[in-house]
Amino acid sequence: MLEHNLAAIRYQDYEFFVGVYRNDPETRAEVEAVAARNSRVHLAEVPHDGPTMKSDCLNWVYQRMLAWELETGRRMEVVIFHDAEDVIHPRALELVNAHTETADMVQMPVLPIETGWREWTHGLYCDDFAESQGKDLETRVNWGGFLPGCGVGTALTRNALDALASRQAGQILQPAALTEDYDLGVRLHCLGFRQKFVPLQWDRGVPVATREYFPRSAPAAIRQRTRWVTGNSLQAWHEHGWGRGMSRRRVQAWFFWRDRKGLWGNPLSLACNFLFLWGLLSWTAGSPPWFLSAGHSMRSALALLMGANLALLLERLAARTFIVATIYGWQFASGAPFRLIWGNWINSLASLRAIWGWLLARTGRRPLRWVKTAHAYPSRDALSRHQRPLTEILVSSGHLSPEAAATAAALPTGSSVADYLLERQLVSERHLWAALAIQHGLPEIRLEPARIPNRTTCLLPERVQRRWRVLPFEIAAGEARLATPQIPGAAMQTELEGFTGLKLRFYLVPPAEFESAAATLKARQSALIRED
């Protein structure tokens, strides 16, 4: 996450503060490795064992930021929350910076990354977030309702942070909050801070939003949504009631009701699915007659009520399908009505589990427990749509003129910008590969064959090294470090991992330097063989 986003973000003045638990040495090692290569990255240690609530970790991240300010004499004006699986859009910080001129809490859109239509559970997340980000949240704010944060892509001005910290003993978030983002939105609205949702927009055919993979199995989705229902509905009900102390209380009560109606609405929706199936089977079979169609009942007010309900359902499905289609395409959107039924099962089980867990916690006077959701990070291939253009990186680093960049950017689709720049000698190979490293979030390396141990060069078979154009140059921290002049793909990484039990980390090196080092190492190995 750090390597990709550091490469992709089109903004200059920002820092990363990364929360790490003291009993998590693996994460610490990864963060320290990135921090050693990039001074923007700062490790924030949570001084007790984890996992704890996410809000507890973020509170300690905030304390690390304050310490950094004392060390450097600089002041952070805006803070934006992100998770370790987030793909931040290159323009996100630019937009946040603009919108925080008029609001103290700014929420960027959050959208799941596309998956195949066969993945119904993840597809349900795509549908839900498309509807909420494309319609619900902006309408909510325009009506004067409080804005619940989305957990990621949530930006706060320093004024809002300081106000929260001054009222909560230096803590910006409630440590016991299961859904700190929802609680944060309510508290900031109570304090009178203006909230704003950034409408969904597009850049080069890609939505300007925080992207990530959500749970892709039903059990994982039920666990996550159980926490959401517990925090957003039950815990918020206990903490904030129906809008006491909030402006436009009737509007807030309406949205609180919308957020909480799933407690009873989700199980009822599942029951209605069975009722619909029963009625459909009875209607097709002809007998025995369905009880709702017997006598005069269907000619009564019940018929009008059911007709109105059907009309509203069809309108909801049409709107949901249309919004999903605008983001994920019509082929994927055609499954939205069917995934809604699948969602009834998942949401019903999550609601029932949330109610049961809440009752056990309240009667037993036990604290609610954070349940971490397992996430996956996209492959490099999936991240390719979120990269900065190569010409933009070269211009910003001063190695290419804007005029040459404009000419290269106008090349026909399918043409190689890198080949064009090299052929016309518009940029040196070293500078071009440095830009490629930035674009793909890969570290650079200057190979020194004399410092590469012989045992390291034998880590992979020679034929494999030739095929994939890789050179092992170091083994450290439980990982094999490989130099290569090409961008590593999934097939390359999968095959190479089969030859070693070590984690692989790729470093980019210009082709000429790679070939020179490879020839030197081969000559050295040949000399050793002759000596033996």
- 474 and 326 in a single domain? The answer is no
**What is the phi/psi pair of residue 328, to 5°?**
-110, -5
Considering the domain architecture, whether residues 432 and 450 belong to the same structural domain is answered as no
Q: Are residues 351 and 429 in the same domain?
A: no
**Amino acid identity, position 513:** E
Q: Is the pLDDT of residue 364 over 90?
A: no
- Phi then psi for residue 250, to 5 deg, are -65, -40
Domain identity same for 365 and 243 = yes
Residue 334, pLDDT > 80, answer yes
Same structural domain for residues 483 and 527? yes
Which helix (H) or strand (E) covers residue 134, if one does?
none
Last residue of a domain, one of 351, 385, 419: 385
**For residue 394, what pLDDT is reported?**
87
- CATH code of the domain covering residue 63: 3.90.550.10
223 pLDDT band, cuts 50/70/90, is: very high
Please name every residue paired with 78 in a beta bridge, in sequence order, or none if there are none.
Answer: 157
| Nearest Cα to Cα of residue 127 among 358, 246, 135, 186 | 135
> Among positive and negative, which fits the CA dihedral 151, 157, 161, 166?
negative
Give the domain-ending residue among 338, 366, 385: 385
Least confident of 100-114, 132-146, 209-223, 516-530: 516-530
Same domain assignment for residues 287 and 164: yes
- Residues 60 and 159 placed together within one structural domain of the fold: yes
Task: Report the relative pairing of strands 202-203 and 206-207 from DSSP bridges.
Answer: antiparallel
What CATH number does the domain containing 484 carry? 3.30.300
| 179 has pLDDT over 70 | yes
pLDDT at 453: 87
Q: Which amino acid, one-letter code, is at 204?
A: R
pTM of structure = 0.82
Banded model confidence at residue 513, pLDDT cuts 50, 70, 90: very high
Tens-place pLDDT, residues 72-87: 999 999 999 999 989 9
263-288: pLDDT as tens digits:
999 999 888 888 888 877 777 776 66
Whether residues 246 and 113 share a domain: the answer is: yes
Average pLDDT over the chain, rounded to whole? Answer: 89
Collect contacts of 318-324 with beta carbons under 8 A, ≥24 apart: 319/131, 319/135, 320/127, 320/130, 320/131, 323/130, 323/131, 323/134, 323/135, 324/126, 324/127, 324/130, 324/131
Output 453 or 16, whichever has higher pLDDT: 16
Domain end, chosen from 402, 422, 441, is at 441
What is the model's pLDDT at position 307? 84
Q: Is 178 in the same domain as 309?
A: yes
Q: Do 348 and 208 fall into the same domain?
A: yes
Q: Answer yes or no: do 418 and 354 share one domain.
A: no
Confidence (pLDDT) at 222: 95
Tell whether 6 and 137 lie within a shared domain.
yes
Distance CA 383, CA 4 (A): 8
Q: How do beta strands 16-21 and 41-46 pair?
A: parallel
Confidence of residue 294 (pLDDT cuts 50, 70, 90): low
208: DSSP letter:
S
Domain that holds residue 514: 445-532
- pLDDT 10s digits, 236-264: 999 999 988 788 899 999 999 999 999 99
pLDDT surpassing 90 at residue 468? yes
Number of domains the chain contains: 3
Per-residue model confidence (pLDDT) at position 57: 93
